[in-house]
Structure 1
Amino acid sequence: MQQQKEHQCDVLIIGSGAAGLSLALQLADQLRVIVLSKGPLREGSTLYAQGGIAAVFDENDSIDSHVSDTLIAGAGLCDEAAVQFTAEHAKTAMEWLIAQGVPFDQYRDEDGVLKYHLTREGGHSHRRILHAADATGRAVQITLVDQVKSHPNIRLLENYNAVDLITAEKLGLPGQHCHGAYVWNRNSEQVEVIAARFVALATGGASKVYLYTSNPDVASGDGIAMAWRAGCRVANMEFNQFHPTSLYHPEAQNYLITEAMRGEGAYLQRPDGSRFMPDFDERAELAPRDIVARAIDFEMKRLGVACVYLNISHKPKDFIIEHFPTIYAKCLSVGIDITKQPIPVVPAAHYTCGGVMTNLNGQTDIANLYAIGEVAYTGLHGANRMASNSLLECVVFAQSAARHILANLTANTALVKLPQWDESRVSNSDEEVVITHNWHELRLFMWDFVGIVRTTKRLERALHRVELLQREIEEYYRHFRVSNNLLELRNLTMVAELIIRCAMERKESRGLHYTLDYPELDPLPTPTVLTPPVRS
């Protein structure tokens, strides 16, 4: 049997987006860091984030206003302390990104003073969105990747899947500590073990659980599922944000049309050219995403049409190309000239507002295990995430977690000798079709039964189906060697169950969770918290 590889580090960071790379750079001057990337280092949700990052840079804006806008968008379920903390640390976080070299757009005012160009997006009362044209996430990701690649204390493991966390409980040791993780090397197709004094989950969200999503393939809820299996609580998984405007074209699936386009005057229209958002909300196209997505879903179902349209062609051509060069080029590549014609759009699963419960330091229920970014539930987003608060959360909480880790380098974080992965009783699979079939079934029934509009009956059907799938997959997992598709499907079915159970517990319609059986608001709403069952 081939000897398995063993790795050691001070901090293992699982995930290589804005949260994971920011944390690595904050720690690496003092600690040895391993960053695990499921695919190529640049790939992930950060790369595809278009709009920008919210922070108060305008003298006419204020932190209180940013807090107020976020609380309103969160529909009564935000944790006010988390919102205040994030808004207060936003400018410092952005200044750190600027120092790393992120090229946010700038201009000179009438006095010749160089300032950052700020745009406005849905839910914001002021222009406070820093951006790099319409490809902010790409600028952030490329900049951070360049920085981590040049740091001698950061080791990058690309094309690795995390399999499971290794806790004191699994090792038969006292206490609740995380001591490392089993990881699957996609190149050698071998499971390896990484021992670490601290582990941070920065794996992003779980929107791949849905049939239509704006997210890249790696967004399969791995961190949430691993943390749940390890014994961490999760919260608010019923609040999955559907981005209102994903490009509807067979040659350009998963392509987002940024919120910033509506911020700059684009409007939604029916196939006959008439506008409809003013009929749903006085803020029209600048209403929060849940309202816009539900309005589009309603119009599509009412009219029996495959999509609606987003029109910015009334703006000058030069303005459109300057502000949205990436979208202009992408649409043109599939025969759509956005300077002359509207863009066909549909909603798509976009952001997981719930996740692994943490405090303001990014700490989970398990000692030495942190969660930052979309994988975490900090309380910032409540029942609906406001535009451009997501990348902000990544950097703010990466800095917070880094401060906490560096302040807690004590003897109880010593490395522990970890056992190797046991695959003595498994074989190679000759039934890959089982995974493919279950994969498609899961994403289809999640879209149909646990999508933008829900009912109790749909949720009950979904739960019944996901429990059947889980039994099949666990049986498969016990008998065959792991693979990328098996690991992702195992995690997605776990996350699907968490989403469904949270949705069934919420007996109201609020934010991103809308059910026909409980259309009214609960006057005393609380977060939906799930606690893992006690293992005997």
Structure 2
Amino acid sequence: MTTPTLIIGAGIAGLWTALKLAPQPVILVTGAPLGEGAATGWAQGGVAVSAGREDSAEAHTRDTIAAGAGLTRRDAAHALAAGIGAEIDALRGLGVPFETDAAGELAMGLEAAHSHPRIAHIKGDQAGALILETLIRAVRAAGHITIRENMWATALLPSADGGCAGVVARDAYGRRHELIAAQTVLATGGYGGLFADTTSPRGATGQAMAMAARLGAEIRNPEFVQFHPTAIRTGSDPLPLATEALRGDGAVLVDRDGHSITAGQDLAARDIVARAVHRALQSGRGAFLDARDAVGAHFPEAFPGVFAACMAAGIDPRTTPIPIAPAAHYTMGGIATDIEGRTTIDGLWAVGECACNGLHGANRLASNSLAEGLVFGHRAARALRSATRPRFAPLPASEPPVLPRIVLNGLRRAMSDLAGVIRSEAGLADLLSRIDRLTTRFGETNEILVARMVTEAALDRTESRGGHYREDYPQSRAQAIDTVCNPAHMERLVAAE
């Protein structure tokens, strides 16, 4: 009998991996009902695919590598660019209603740092929500998948061979469960929720990264966090997002006097635009996304999600510029894997935002995130189908302490203030001292462990590159290097690219 594969997380990467493992049995564990708490459902931009006549997979690969600022691995970038077309075809076969032109071909939109229009949209800004809805229907109908909802993974189970034997999880009643598996896949998303100013779900605080690190897995490039330049300043937590597709359609970034805050480079790479927005806000000029001329009266049908978020905050984007701010949006660092999702721990795999396979490097290219979940979820499933490993009895595993919510909120504020869009040695050293004090008082919770890895890596990287910007080291070094760390040590390794 085939031993079930255990998948932790139910966003696009976890669901697609589960579906592509058919007919092998899967146990899918999610801390909420399917569809709740997954960042996938909030993704607005679309899926990057080189389907246009003037475009090519090689051009998409080049753009991905360029955005990654020297740390993107060519094999990962090429795998995504060459593989995403087939995954979109599979989604269309499941009924996902991608927008098409008069000839029935995918309609391509333009986003920042892409050399060609190559963003496949779904009902304007509804790509993530409608893909997630479709995948959930498919997973619920799949006979090979057993779904465990409202169950939170808290720790990985070690095995006698030095690998992973499954997870410790808690159910809605707080009862402890040990879920044993020969192969465990982590797909719980990133750690953007560890920042106060974020577009990520509040629960996205790096649980997978912390659990993997405690088991001894390598963590790669945790300092690289992408700050989206156009979160909507509503005061909510998390902040709603104004998709980059608005700028692709001609919306502009201005201060309160209507002057450009990017010198007209509104579709530059996200790190560049985020810093321009940050500086405009710090200077008191204000920062706004003006879509009145570009979208205007068409806003409700063209971008229904953004329109609803604005109207809920009392902003009519048809007649008023949208107040914006940079916010933690995507984490390029994570559990080190190859392009099939294998970690450095036998029996442990990672896919999606919690993994770092070298695709994004120092800065993710717009709309490569949904594509990543699809392409690398499928690749992991294919590798898992041929993976063989005995099912080991687990060794004892302890769960980390829990950080009180009010304390976590203070840590999140400190992360945004001191490890945000613009960083410095003084601010990062201050942040590390605060993390030390929290550790002394509350123990090393998962959130504290992730915050420590991010901060120590940011201190260690004495340069500016991609999403990591040090005002005291504004230049990039000649050699691009990865940071590879675990809780016990940190070392620099020369990047493969």
Same fold (TM > 0.5) = yes
Secondary structure of 2:329's partner? strand
Aligned to 2:351: 372
**Partner residue of 1:72?**
66
Quick check: 1:206 aligned with 2:197?
A: no
Paired position in structure 1 for 2:243: 258
In structure 2, how many angstroms separate the alpha carbons of the residues matched to 1:36 and 1:49?
A: 22
**Structure-to-structure mapping, 1:42-81, within 5 angstroms:** 42-43=35-36, 44-81=38-75
Match of 1:130 in 2: 120
Shift of the 207–67 alpha-carbon distance from structure 1 to 2, 3 Å rule, reads same
Q: Secondary structure at 1:106's aligned position in 2?
A: coil
2:33 alignment partner, one of 28, 32, 40: 40
Cα gap change, 1:416 to 1:516, in 2 (>3 Å) = same
CA separation of 1:149/1:220 partners in 2, compared to 1, >3 Å: closer, same or farther?
same
- 1:471 equivalent to 2:440? Answer yes
TM-fit CA distance, 1:308: 1.3
1:343-369 Cα deviation digits (max 9, x unpaired): 111111111001000001110001121
- Structure 1 CA distance for aligned equivalents of residues 74 and 435 of structure 2: 34
Deviations along 1:337-391, one digit per CA (max 9) or x if unpaired, are: 2111111111111110010000011100011211000001111111111100011
Query: Quick one: which of 219, 224, 233 aligns to 2:218?
Result: 233
CA contact (8 A) 1:247 1:254 kept: yes
In structure 1, C-alpha distance between the alignment counterparts of 2:301 and 2:409, rounded to whole Å: 40
Residue 334 of structure 2 corresponds to residue 355 of structure 1: yes
Q: Distance in 2 between matches of 1:231 and 1:134?
A: 39
Query: Relative to 1, partners in 2 of residues 1:292 and 1:465: Cα closer, same or farther, differing over 3 Å?
Result: same
Q: Does structure 2 conserve the Cα–Cα contact (< 8 Å) formed by 1:193 and 1:421? A: no
Partner of 2:145: 154
Decide whether the 8 Å contact of 1:308 with 1:346 is kept in 2.
yes
Q: 1:292 aligns with which of 255, 263, 273?
A: 273
**What does 1:169-248 correspond to in 2, within 5 Å?**
173=160, 175-185=161-171, 187-248=172-233
Offset at residue 415 of structure 1 (A): 2.7
Please state how far the C-alpha of 1:402 moved relative to its aligned partner. 0.7
Matched, 1:414 2:414: no
Distance 1:81 1:75, change over 3 A: same
Larger radius of gyration between Structure 1 and Structure 2? 1
Report if aligned partners of 1:233, 1:532 keep a CA contact under 8 Å in 2.
no
Check whether the contact 1:193–1:420 (CA below 8 A) recurs between aligned residues: no
Q: Give the C-alpha shift of residue 333 in structure 1.
A: 2.8
Counterpart in the other structure of 1:388: 367
Match of 1:484 in 2: none
Structure 2 counterparts to residues 306-317 of structure 1, below 5 A = 307-315=286-294, 317=296
Please state if 1:492 is matched with 2:447.
yes
**Gap change, CA 1:468 and 1:260, over 3 Å in 2:** same
Q: Deviations over 1:269-318 (max 9, x none)?
A: 1011211211xxx6x11001100100011111112x6x511011113545
The alignment partner of 1:213 has SS state of coil
Deviates more, 1:252-261 or 1:36-45: 252-261
Q: 1:76 to 1:421 in 2, by over 3 A?
A: closer
Match in the other structure for 1:21: 15
When the two chains are superposed, the root-mean-square deviation of aligned CA atoms in Å is 2.0
Post-superposition offset of 1:252: 7.6
Per-residue deviation, 1:101: 2.1
AA aligned to 1:376 is A
CA contact (8 A) 2:202 2:238 kept: no
**Partner amino acid for 1:302?**
S
8 Å contact kept, 2:198–2:237: no
| Amino acid aligned to 1:154 | I
1:461 is matched with 430
Question: What displacement does 1:208 show?
Answer: 1.3
Match of 2:493 in 1: none
Q: Secondary structure at the match of 2:183?
A: strand
Letter in 1 for 2:169: V
SS of 2:181 mapped into structure 1 = strand
More deviation, 230-239/466-475: 466-475
Shift in Å at residue 526 of structure 1?
0.7
| Distance in 1 of aligned mates of 2:397 and 2:381 | 30
Q: Report matched runs for 1:7-18 at 5 Å.
A: 10-18=4-12
Distance 1:203 1:302 in 2: 37
Question: Structure 1 vs Structure 2: percent identity of aligned residues?
Answer: 37
Would the aligned equivalents of 2:223 and 2:457 in 1 still touch at CA under 8 Å? yes
Aligned-residue offset at 1:474: 2.4
Is the CA contact 1:315–1:339 (under 8 Å) kept in the aligned structure 2? no
Separation in structure 2 between the aligned mates of residue 310 and residue 472 of structure 1, nearest angstrom: 43
Distance 1:419 1:73 in 2: 42
Are the equivalent residues in 2 in contact too, given 1:216–1:254 (CA < 8 A)?
no
- Asked whether 1:322 is paired with 2:275, we answer no
Equivalent in the alignment of 1:118: 108
Query: What amino acid sits opposite 2:147 in the alignment?
Result: L
Partner of 2:461: 506
Whole-angstrom distance in 2 between the partners of 1:219 and 1:513: 20
- Which one of the candidate residues 132, 135, 157 is aligned to 1:144? 135
The residue type paired with residue 203 of structure 1 is T
Q: State the Cα distance separating 1:421 from its structure 2 match.
A: 7.2
Aligned equivalents of 1:76, 1:420: Cα separation in 2: 41
Given that residues 249 and 295 in structure 2 are in contact (C-alpha distance below 8 angstroms), is that contact kept between their aligned partners in structure 1? no
Out of 402, 415, 429, the residue aligned to residue 446 of structure 1 is 415
Q: Which residue of 1 aligns with 2:492?
A: none
One-letter identity of the residue aligned with 1:26: K
Tell me the distance in 2 between the aligned counterparts of 1:437 and 1:336: 30
Distance 1:252 1:314, change over 3 A: farther
Superimposed CA distance per residue, residues 132-190 of structure 1 (whole angstroms, 9 cap, x where no aligned partner): 1211000111000000011122111111111111122xxxx2x33211110011x2211
Unmatched tracts of structure 1, length 5 or more: 1-7, 476-489
Aligned 8 A contact 2:251 2:295 in 1: no
In the other structure, the counterpart of 1:166 is: 157
In structure 1, distance between residues paired with 2:190 and 2:146: 24
User: Could you say what secondary structure the match of 1:205 adopts?
Assistant: coil
User: What is the Cα deviation at residue 95 of structure 1?
Assistant: 1.6
In the alignment, structure 1 residue 516 sits paired with structure 2 residue 471:
yes
Code of the aligned partner of 1:244: P
| Unmatched tracts of structure 2, length 5 or more | 490-497
| CA distance, structure 2, for counterparts of residue 385 and residue 503 of structure 1 | 18
Is the Cα–Cα contact under 8 Å of residues 155 and 397 in structure 2 kept in the other structure?
no
SS in 2 for 1:107: coil
Which residue does the alignment assign to 1:480? none
Give the aligned residue type for 1:48.
W
